[in-house]
Structure 1
Amino acid sequence: MPLPRILEPEVMETPETAAAYDAMDFTAVNTAFCEDLAAVLPTVEQPLRVLDVGTGNGRILQMLHQRYPHWQLTGIDLSPAMLAIARHHSPQLTFIEGDAKTLPFAAARFDVVISNSLVHHLADPQPALGEMLRVLRPQGTLFIRDLCRPQTLAELQALVEQYAGQDTPEQQQLFADSLHAALTLREMSDLLRTLPQPPQQWQATLTSDRHWTVVAQR
């Protein structure tokens, strides 16, 4: 029997939980995200307007700013605790408290919309996906990456051991809960396919043993 989806809280509410997440080493994962994003963009030389939805601790925007200081980077997240950490790491960047399901931006405001590890926090990701597309300019790039729920509990436990085996029990539980809450590639593809206004072009693929990635154009 396939592993069922078990939701986790939408927001990391406490400073302790946010700090535990921030202490986990996602350098390799974040580096891959930034490199894979750059590979699908038509250009990285222009001053692109980039929105990171569910920015969390802001580490990806921090890395993008180091690589592309001419980009206009904005992060939005619903967790004040995570945003406090993001602002501490990158005080020069713009971070906004807000809900992915009702983004406080005009339509077609951004050239690029990115999101990493947000979708598994959402009971129904469709409203947030629709909002990401709404604020993306025509022919802009949507780049989403998240965990992929394993087929079995044994596979989940193996992933936790492989990637969080040296972390604290609390951090291991955070990772396990996230894997339980994640969508499968098929579930994510079905969501995109059934959006009221689906993207003109999109591709959803498995990009690691624990991640899927969506690249789309409005």
Structure 2
Amino acid sequence: MNPKPPLYRDYIESNFKDYREYQRRALSQEPEMTKFLKKLLPCWLNTELPYRLLDIGCGNGNTCFHLNSQHPHWYYVGVDVVSGLIEDGRHLFSNIENLRLEVADAHYLESFSEEPFDVVLMWRVLQGLENWKQALRSAYSITKPGGHLIISTLLNDADVDLSIIMRDYSASGDIKDVTLRIFSEAQFRAYCMELGVQTVTFEKFNMPIALPRPERGLNTYTVDLMEGNKIQLAGGALVDHWKIAHIIKGDLTDANN
């Protein structure tokens, strides 16, 4: 029997102080991918409407925080399985009345089924989950008919899924291994069709700025190529496959319901 792959959840909890600081830095230094999301949303949504948005795997809620600066008339719910990050976010954002943070597992979101969301966000989280298909099914099930499911993850053009075990020797906790997955875009699309999705589109994210190589850890950095192009790496692994999947939920019910 193959050993169970190391999970991002375990890595984060074991190295919580470091990851909390990483999440806090994202408040003062808005991630470029979040800026990219803010540019895409007006292309996909009527942003004047009072949407309810669920951010799955929200960390401390920093993505909701940045979205709220542009769309303060929306109502945000953020969920994460790491309770310490939720507690930190509640402390940081206690004055934001239209943001609620809860502890929840991305694989099991049935508690939200009675009041589904206009927009469901899975931002840089799917590639670190134990069962991505179950998590995607769960997210789709709590998206309103006509609503939007938006996912940023690592997708390649081959008919191959990759699973990389990364060992962070600089990690302060006992758990130093973490699994990073890069999905086949074709297989990802096929599974969306199984769920009843009629249309899924993809936008490639290209890092617009140079990121210096960190002294330690798995943080992303860039390497310059010819003609001003850049590639992204994390811990020495190529992670230049970031794409944003946009799914509009039709009137069809989930094929697995």
Q: What is the identity, as a one-letter code, of the residue corresponding to 1:100?
A: A
C-alpha deviations, 1:129-157, integer Å up to 9, x for none? Answer: 011111111111111112457x9xxxx9x
Q: Does 1:58 align with 2:61?
A: yes
Instruction: Determine if the alignment matches structure 1 residue 122 to structure 2 residue 123.
Output: no
Q: Structure 1 or 2: larger helix share?
A: 1
- 1:144 touches 1:215 (CA, 8 Å); kept in 2? yes
| Unmatched runs of 5 consecutive residues or more in structure 2 | 159-163, 165-169, 207-230, 232-239, 250-257
Q: 2:106 aligns with which of 100, 103, 107?
A: 100
Give the number of aligned pairs. Answer: 189
**Residue 245 of structure 2: aligned partner:** 214
Residue 13 in 1 paired to residue 13 in 2?
Answer: yes
Take 2:115 and 2:102, find their aligned partners in 1: how far apart are those partners? Answer: 18
Give the match for residue 146 of structure 1: 153
Q: How far apart, CA to CA, are the structure 1 residues paired with 2:88 and 2:39?
A: 24
Cα separation, partners in 2 of 1:89 and 1:17, compared to 1, 3 Å: same
TM-score of the superposed pair, with normalisation by structure 2: 0.64
Stretches of structure 1 lacking an aligned partner (at least 5 in a row):
1-5, 157-168, 172-176
- Name the structure where strand makes up a greater proportion of residues: 2
The SS at the match of 1:62 is helix
Relative contact order higher in (CA < 8 Å, ≥ 6 apart): 1
Residues in 1 aligned to 2:71 and 2:35: alpha-carbon distance in whole angstroms: 13
Alpha-carbon separation, structure 2, partners of 1:213 and 1:105: 24
Alignment equivalent of 1:31, drawn from 16, 29, 35: 35
What's the TM-score once normalised by structure 1's chain length? 0.74
Matches within 5 A, 1:68-107: 68-91=71-94, 92=96, 93-103=99-109, 104-106=111-113
Cα displacement (A) at 1:22: 1.7
CA gap 1:146/1:86 in 2 versus in 1, 3 angstroms? farther
Q: Could you say which residue in structure 1 is the equivalent of 2:197?
A: 199
**Structure with max Cα Rg:** 2
